[in-house]
Copies of this chain bind each other. A is one copy, B any other.
Amino acid sequence: MAEDGGSGSGYNPPMPGELEFIQWLRSQQTPSSFVPVPAGDDLAVLRWDAGDLLLVGADQVLDGVHFDAAVHSPRQIGRKVMNRNLSDCAAMACLPAAAVATVALPKRAGVDYARELYLGLRDAADPFDCAIVGGDTGSWDGKLAFSVTILGRSAGVTPVRRSGAKPGDGIYVTGPLGGSIRGRHMTFTPRVELARRLAQAGGVTAMIDISDGLSRDLRHICRESSVGAVLDAAAVPLHDDARALAAEDAMEPGHQYHRALVHALSDGEDYELLFTGHPPALPPGVVRVGSITGEPGMWLDDNGRRPLEARGWEHEL
């Protein structure tokens, strides 16, 4: 999604579409003191505040994995990839500052489709004053792949890592979990403000956003912090979507409550925050779901303790 547009190793004549799209993209950008040089050069130029740490990471969405191009609109897809990146900012309690995007567009998707992808990015980024400063658009004989890199700034809050959990800490989540595949995985709101409020209030020792699933993201924290965890099954907030899925899982073994719990523990793409510590107060919607232990390993307290398997999404390479 850049002025530069893309280049290739072919001998193709100029094609209509790309330059028009790039001109339109540039018309969307407004210069600012933070971005003195927006798209129009090989790189955008940002003035980084001397007091700010720079946080950076990237997340992509792929057709058939994170969305279905036959079902979801380009605007929804653009929103999702940006929101996933904004959610990574929430996980570290930093403020989104700027983003760049690359898109591999199926041939003949058309300029309007590319425009809608960009507007989806903007829908998600604009509420956070996160500028989209550059990128690269290419078309190919392949499916839609859309990647965003996010730059965040610490802005007065020490970044919260995964590695700070201590035995005795509580384990908290910021909302009900499970069943996001019913639609929420495309429409969630990244918890940036809530993360900043929690981190500023103090007492947060480790944090992550729940993308892989509660059990698996909890394992990330346990491994990074060299601790263990006990989850209280009855305390895990079940989303209505988890219950609805459980009702549909007629072929699966187990009671409906248990099936909904499995969804809450394993589904992923909730994009709620999972954090540990001793927060001085709990904002609305935040609930304690367990405790950090000194002994490594994870358990589920569900009328008796049993090992908690870290189930969730892992890509097969």
Contacts and interface: CB of A to CB of B under 8 A. Distances in A.
Interface band, chain A: 35 or more
A185 B135 CA distance: 20
A116 B315 CA distance: 18
Given A10-B65, A64-B142, A317-B114, A134 B43 contact: no
A152 interface: yes
Nearest to A19: B314
A30 interface: no
B135 A18 contact: no
Interface stretch (A85-93, A169-177, A285-293): A85-93
A113 to B, nearest CB: 8
Given A17-B316, A41-B162, A45-B53, A149 B100 contact: yes
Contacts of A211: 4, 7
A208 interface: yes
Interface string A132-152: 011111111111010101111
Interface stretch (A121-129, A196-204, A265-273): A265-273
B159 A37 contact: yes
A102 B60 contact: yes
A50 interface: yes
